[in-house]
């Protein structure tokens, strides 16, 4: 009888430990999912707002608020679908952290240089920013391809085998490009620029300027699609 009671006690204790472990794991997973959902929601909102206000509204300033909201929602859905399609390619890296380190260390330097130079210098120009982004994205794509070639890594110095070190070199290169692309004189303030660009008829851009803007926007979209394909699993398989 005593042995039976001891056996039941051990079995009950084992069940309690399993239940507690399951509940703890569930709480951890719930917190992790909440953090992921918050990050995804913030990223989608920021991306859609950037596309709508920096590109679409600038080209068509008279669209209604309802149209802007619908466009933002459609862009969010499109970005989410694109990310879901590209997500399986992460398995070719050493975990999610390794993927994020490689991607952001190679693609963030040009954006970082443009933001910092635009905040702390009055001589930053759009031409210098475009050149910096172009050079930085190109170097990042080359470095991304280079890091995916073990045969090339073995023949290079140890310093150049880390994406963080390559990211630092790309940052230096982008800073150099931005420095040479700066204006000789301080750039006018935003109020002065807006006053110069505003026409008497209320138009922000002339027809010629709008044509140039749309052409540049189309080329930018083509470049973004190309970069997305290069970093996708199909692009990686093509270049390997």
Judged by average pLDDT, the poorest of 49-58, 135-144, 184-193, 195-204 is 195-204
Number of other CB atoms surrounding residue 174 within 10 Å: 26
More confident residue, 25 or 132: 132
SS3 string, the chain, reads CHHHHHHHHHHHHHHHHHHHHHHHHHHHHHHHHHHHHHHHHHHHHHHHHHHHHHHHHHHCCCCCHHHHHHHHHHHHHHHHHHHHHHHHHHHHCCHHHHHHHHHHHHHHHHHHHHHHHHHHCCCCCHHHHHHHHHHHHHHHHHHHHHHCCHHHHCCCCHHHHCHHHHHHHHHHHHHHHHHHCCCCCCCCCHHHHHHHHCCCCCCCCCHHHHHHHHHHHHHHHHHHHHHHHHHCHHHHHHHC
Percent of the chain scoring above 90 in pLDDT: 2
What does the pLDDT average to over 24-40? 77
Q: Read off the pLDDT band of 74 (50, 70, 90).
A: very high
**Which of 4-18, 162-176, 189-203 tops mean pLDDT?**
162-176
Plot region of 3 (φ>0 → left; ψ -120 to 50 → alpha; else → beta): alpha
Interval 164-180: pLDDT, tens: 788 888 888 998 988 88
* Cα–Cα distance measured from residue 143 to residue 137, given in angstroms and rounded to the nearest whole number: 10
Our measurement of the distance from residue 233's CA atom to the centroid of its chain's CA atoms, rounded to an integer in Å, reads 17
> To the nearest whole number, what is the mean pLDDT of the chain?
76
Distances (CA, A) of 204 to 58, 190, 193, 198: 8, 14, 11, 5
What does the pLDDT average to over 38-64? 84
* Cα–Cα distance measured from residue 117 to residue 136, given in angstroms and rounded to the nearest whole number: 15
Predicted local distance difference test score (pLDDT) of residue 193 = 56
* 77 has a pLDDT exceeding 70: yes
What does the pLDDT average to over 142-171? 81
* Cα–Cα distance measured from residue 74 to residue 67, given in angstroms and rounded to the nearest whole number: 10
Predicted local distance difference test score (pLDDT) of residue 4 = 41
- Contacts of residue 121, Cβ cutoff 8 Å, sequence gap at least 6: 182
Q: Read off the pLDDT band of 6 (50, 70, 90).
A: very low
Predicted local distance difference test score (pLDDT) of residue 211 = 80
141 phi and psi, to 5 degrees?
-65, -40
Going from N- to C-terminal start, the domains of the chain cover: 14-92
**Residue pair 110/170 in contact by the 8 Å Cβ criterion:** yes
Judged by average pLDDT, the poorest of 44-53, 180-189, 198-207 is 198-207
More confident residue, 147 or 26: 147
What does the pLDDT average to over 11-21? 58
* Cα–Cα distance measured from residue 94 to residue 76, given in angstroms and rounded to the nearest whole number: 28
């Amino acid at each position: 009888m005593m042995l039976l009671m001891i056996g039941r006690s051990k079995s009950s204790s084992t069940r309690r430990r399993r239940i507690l472990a399951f509940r703890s794991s569930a709480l951890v997973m719930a917190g992790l999912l909440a953090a992921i959902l918050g990050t995804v929601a913030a990223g989608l909102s920021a991306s859609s707002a950037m596309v709508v206000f920096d590109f679409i509204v600038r080209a068509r300033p008279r669209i209604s608020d309802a149209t802007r909201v619908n466009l933002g929602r459609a862009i969010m859905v499109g970005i989410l679908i694109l990310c879901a399609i590209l997500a399986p390619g992460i398995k070719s890296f050493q975990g999610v952290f390794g993927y994020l380190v490689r991607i952001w260390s190679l693609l963030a330097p040009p954006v970082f240089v443009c933001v910092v130079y635009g905040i702390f210098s009055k001589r930053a120009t759009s031409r210098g920013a475009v050149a910096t982004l172009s050079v930085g994205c190109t170097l990042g794509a080359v470095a991304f391809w280079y890091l995916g070639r073990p045969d090339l890594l073995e023949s290079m110095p140890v310093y150049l085998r880390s994406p963080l070190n390559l990211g630092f070199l790309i940052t230096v290169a982008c800073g150099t490009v931005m420095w040479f692309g700066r204006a000789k004189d301080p750039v006018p303030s935003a109020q002065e620029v807006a006053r110069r660009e505003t026409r008497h008829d209320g138009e922000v851009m002339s027809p010629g300027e709008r044509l140039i803007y749309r052409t540049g926007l189309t080329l930018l979209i083509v470049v973004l699609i190309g970069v997305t394909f290069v970093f996708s699993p199909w692009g990686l398989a093509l270049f390997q």
